[in-house]
Structure 1
Amino acid sequence: MMRKVLIAGGGIGGLSAALACARAGAEVALFERSAEFSEFGAGIQLGPNVVKILYGWGLQQALHAVVACPDRLQVRSAMTGSELGVLRLGEEIARRYGAPYYTIHRADLHALLLAALQQQGGVALNLASSVVSFEQTDTDIALQLAHDEVARGDLLVGADGGWSGIRQQLLADGTPQPTGHLAYRALVSQARLPEHLRSTQVTAWLGPKMHVVQYPVCRGEWLNVVAIVHGQVQGDMSHWDHSGNATELQKRLSATCKPLHDLILAVPAWRLWALSIRPPMRSAQEQAQGRVALLGDAAHPMLPYLAQGAGMAIEDAAVLVRMLERGGFFADAAADGAAGPGNGVPSLLQRYAVQRWQRNARVQARAIRNGTIFHAGALLGLGRNVAMKVLGEGLLDMPWLYRGV
């Protein structure tokens, strides 16, 4: 008997879980509510902790075809333009942690995961399939879909995003709450930028109540720019693709240094995202219960100030399959626990939750803390700048994160 894994959600987290489970030998059924697979145009930073996992899934060649490999991460003052600190990337970080640091267009990562899944086989990709609810029993789990369809499997992975319906049924703990931070996102062809605005590195500009991050994607041909400011928007907070107002952003950042101001003026259009999150995870119960495992934003939506949102979803998928493999889940088993005592699905998912929740909580908390540091003004900002100049790379490097799981 082949084990069957049900997955709700066809974003990066859902596709990662599907690929990892299929590679381990499970039958996979993935359900995506949209009529087609797609991703919004935004960049993602992939630290060595994530790249190692993707390489392990056989995606090295596919990644090399689309990523950019920045040579360093530079932190600058948004007001004066002065350099505050540098972290060497490129060959140095690859030597230190066993894998490089990449930047990638979100749609490119999604597309290569989807292509790998389609080549893998054993995966049913169901589009326009809205998940209504689930019901667990001692022997399986049933997923109720729209139009009275039902899918049954051994376990369910809830990878249906920050406003996860799976999480709501499992935990009934409300929705993510707005942070008062707005993210303006844009992609600009580097060929259309003046020479002095083009870049092969990651640059973070820090200023009072704002910061801007820029880095290359699409083999370096495009520049991803994200500007974070304080404010609120009206409307449905679960949809991030609000119409961005370039004039409004230019006004907000008018007091910044000339190089940053020139960059903002060079961007013709923005997409606006109101950032909403949950508090850092407080227990393993927020990661899995019974036959249901939560993954990615469904479990731990986080601020992008550590550049690890997609990374933690991919780590979730890798650790989930690792725990299932160690418990004999993918072996031909007629019933839960056939591989040994304590190896039933709920027990295995609990091991996954125990392995993941504290690391995810640490990343969530560090991202929140970074927001305070990035946006500091007056005395706190001065202290931040002095600390970066004195401690340099030691302050920017994060061995606990980049070594991976």
Structure 2
Amino acid sequence: MSNSRQPLLVVGGGIGGLASALALSQRGREVHVFEQAAEFKEIGAGIQLGPNAFYTFDELGVTEAVNELAAFPDDIIAMDAVSGERVVHLPVSELFPRRFGKPYGLIHRADLHRVLLDACRETGRVHLHAATQIVGFGDNRGSVRVTTASGEAYEGDGLIGADGLWSTVRESIVGDGKPRVSGHIAYRAVLRTEDVPLENRLNAMVLWMGPKYHLVHYPLRGGKLFNLVAVFHSDRYEDGWDTYGDPEELHLRFQGAHPHVLNMLAKIESWRMWVLCDREPVNHWSQGRTTLLGDAAHPMLQYLAQGACMAMEDAVCLAKRVAAQPDDLPRAFLEYQQARYLRTTRVQLTARLYGHAYHAAGATRDLRNAFLKSRTIEQTADSMAWMYDRKEIPQ
């Protein structure tokens, strides 16, 4: 590596930003990560980890650390939230390693973030700047320069915007304004396992699909906790990801649900709420020495549980392209974009489609249930291969 090479600058210290810093540092690059929050930490609760995530963990060298903190369910189960009918049953603890070569896991978002943060610190090449808001940035042809709210300036070879759904870096490249509001609200909470009703205390990722709502619950931290996410249609809108939800509205939206759903919801006294948003897919998120990653590039609804997975895939792909073109970052960034955008576009659009399927009513609900029940386990697994197979992940 040339001694004159400048560091790479990452805006955003979430899962995507840290994964990109880690992947780049492992290939010999110095990286500065800027996080506007007072400390590097994650909000939220559970994350589902498909097999593609575990291939990425191998690339990042964190598989063992993740495995120590993750829960590994026996099954994925989809239920009709009105009738209580089981619609899908996938024995993933056996099926996914055989079909995809990797497991399916569940992890607390804060735990995954901490794994990546610790790994970044261990490299000695990642410089972490908390409480640092980036208020300006520019491409100076041979380098990029960012300025902070406190008046400091940093120069680097390239800039990576990993600053999420409301990315300011994206606005300078794409210029598409505010995110698209889906009309769906998510309430999330965490229960101690001993507080979960016995009928729901399963080592499984369980999805209850209802008319204009659904509930997901699954174990975390080796089965010590249960993650709950309740989603429903609403015209309510508040900026941010961590406001308090209204239990009265939640129970109103879930009226008529199966007792197993209502009993689970009744266990929660305080919910945190966020509004589900995404953006239209784009094929241009790199410009000169600046590029985007994760939700800044391709924010998606949560219905495929692939947001964090796609950000980490981005990180590994980006680092490989930078390593292959270390002296031509604009070209490396464009090659990364071209390698990734069709896959992430498919995930964005399919996630929207799944949202409609989860919340179907009437004849559409009947068709959904009949179609899903008609497929064999192997056919269902085959339908997931585009997301989970190793060969489908751009390198």
Q: Into which bin does the TM-score normalised by the smaller protein fall? A: over 0.9
Match of 1:347 in 2: 331
SS at match of 1:183: strand
In structure 1, the residue corresponding to 2:222 is in which secondary structure?
coil
Return the alpha-carbon distance in structure 1 between the equivalents of residues 94 and 366 of structure 2: 32
CA distance in 2, matches of 1:274, 1:385: 27
Give the aligned partner of residue 279 of structure 2: 278
Give the drift of 1:56: 2.5
1:212 Cα deviation from its structure 2 partner: 1.1
Q: Which amino acid aligns with 1:322?
A: K
Instruction: Please report how far the alpha carbon of residue 226 of structure 1 lies from its aligned counterpart in structure 2 after TM superposition.
Output: 0.7
Instruction: Note the C-alpha offset of 1:3.
Output: 4.6
- TM-score for both structures, normalised by structure 2: 0.95
Structure 1 runs of 4+ with >6 Å offset:
none
Alignment of 1:2-401 (within 5 A): 2-235=5-238, 237=239, 239-279=240-280, 281-283=281-283, 285=284, 287-327=285-325, 329=326, 336=327, 344-393=328-377, 394-395=379-380, 397-401=383-387
Residue type at the aligned position of 2:187: Y
Letter of the aligned partner of 1:306 in structure 2? Answer: L
Work out whether residues 70 and 102 of structure 1, in 8 Å CA contact, stay in contact via their aligned partners in 2. yes
Output the amino acid matched with 2:291: A
Mapped contact 2:197–2:264 kept (Cα < 8 A)? no
State the TM-score, normalized to the length of structure 1: 0.93
CA drift of 1:98 comes to: 1.7
Where do 5+ consecutive residues of structure 2 fail to align?
none
Percent of residue pairs bearing the same amino acid type: 39
Distance (Å, rounded) in 1 between the aligned partners of 2:262 and 2:198? 15
Offset, 1:97: 1.3
AA aligned to 2:316 is A
Q: Are the aligned partners of 2:146 and 2:154 in contact in 1 as well (CA < 8 Å)?
A: yes
Q: CA deviation at 1:55?
A: 2.3
In 2, the alpha carbon distance for the partners of 1:56 and 1:169 equals 31
How far residue 375 of structure 1 moved from its aligned partner, in angstroms, is 0.8
CA distance in 2, matches of 1:142, 1:3: 11
User: What SS does the aligned partner of 2:43 have?
Assistant: coil
Q: In 2, distance between residues paired with 1:266 and 1:398?
A: 33
- In structure 2, what residue type is equivalent to 1:371? G
Residue 95 (structure 1) shift: 2.1
SS in 2 for 1:168: helix
Conserved? CA contact 1:41–1:187, under 8 Å: no
From the superposition, tell whether residues 197 and 86 of structure 1 become closer, same or farther in structure 2 (CA, over 3 Å). closer
- Give the length in aligned residue pairs: 386
Q: CA deviation at 1:51?
A: 1.1
Distance in 1 (CA, whole Å) between partners of 2:373 and 2:354 is 17
8 A contact 2:300–2:348 mirrored in 1: yes
Amino acid at match of 1:47: G
Specify every segment of 5 or more residues in structure 1 that has no aligned partner in the other structure, as ranges. 330-335, 337-343
Deviation at 1:192, TM superposition (A): 2.2
In 1: Cα distance, 2:359 partner to 2:200 partner? 23
Partner Cα distance (1:368, 1:193) in 2:
30
Displacement after TM superposition at 1:90 (Å): 1.2
Note the C-alpha offset of 1:234.
4.2
Cα deviation, residue 29, structure 1: 0.5
